[in-house]
Amino acid sequence: MAKKRLHLDKQVHFPPFKYGDRCYDLSHLDAHKVEFIHNNDPKKTPISYTFYVSYSFHCFAKDFPSLDDTQRYTLMYHTQKESRPFCFRRYHLSKSLPDIMSHLDTSKLVFHGGYESYATCTVEDEKGDKLEYFVSFEAYRWQKKLRLHVKSAYPLDQPLGKVKKVNIFAIARALLQNKPLPKPQK
């Protein structure tokens, strides 16, 4: 049975990428819902926040200046709005994105990424090595829905160092109350 696709303001499904005789499935980046339960006081009723999550093709595509025209053509992935070469490394790392986004409520790695976006880091690559993974996402409301849109995700060449954390529940509350999104905790 096919799963029902969400209707959102961003692309919700990416067709597979075909390269040679291989097909790279991208269904792990289909838009989905996540629910975060805030229960910091056992005397109060827990609060549930449902976010609709979508992903940009920047999570699995990157234009490398070193590509020649033939390579760029054979690796080109087209979306509804733009095109970029497929990146095998980003693709493999992107498989962890749904899990990362589903656990933002328990993650200790949510921080303000600048330009009103937030980010989270640290994953294992296909070899099992730990690396810093920059996941840039924006939080907003669209048609009364809480939205998270992953704008890009890629491995970092240099560690980020010390960052100031932001609580996903503070982001949710601000969105629901039409208040400015929180800045990092000092």
Q: Tens digit of pLDDT for each residue in 113-152? A: 766 678 877 777 778 888 888 899 999 999 999 999 999 9
Is residue 129 a part of any domain in this protein? Answer: yes
Query: In the prediction, which pLDDT does 101 show?
Result: 94
CA distance 172 to 58: 25
Q: Annotate 117-179 with DSSP letters as a single string.
A: EEEE--EE-TTS-EE-EEEEEEEEEETTEEEEEEEEEEE-SS---S--B--HHHHHHHHHTT-
| Domain assignment present for 9 | no
pLDDT at 184: 59
Residues of the chain with pLDDT under 50: 186
Q: Which amino acid is at 61?
A: A
Residue 5 lies in a domain: no
Region for residue 144 given its phi and psi (left: phi exceeds 0; alpha: psi -120 to 50; beta: otherwise): left
User: Please, which residues bridge with residue 38 across strands?
Assistant: 47
pTM of the predicted protein model: 0.90
Closest CA to 52 of 91, 108, 10, 112: 10
Determine the pLDDT at residue 149.
Answer: 96
Residue 2 falls within a domain, yes or no? no
Give residue 85's domain range. 17-176
pLDDT at 2: 55
Residue 38's nearest CA partner among 29, 54, 27, 49 is 49
- Residue 185 domain flag: no
For the chain, what is the domain count?
Answer: 1
CA 60 and chain centroid, separation: 11
Using DSSP bridges, classify how beta strands 47-55 and 76-78 pair: parallel, antiparallel or unpaired. Answer: unpaired
Q: Which residue type sits at 90?
A: R
- DSSP secondary structure, 28-61, as one string: GGS-EEEEEEE-S-TTS--EEEEEEEEE-GGGTB
Whether 94 is covered by a domain: the verdict is: yes
- pLDDT at res. 3: 65
To the nearest 10°, report the CA torsion of 11, 17, 23, 24.
-60
Coil vs helix vs strand at 144: coil
What distance in Å separates the CA atoms of residue 62 and residue 108, rounded to the nearest whole number?
A: 28
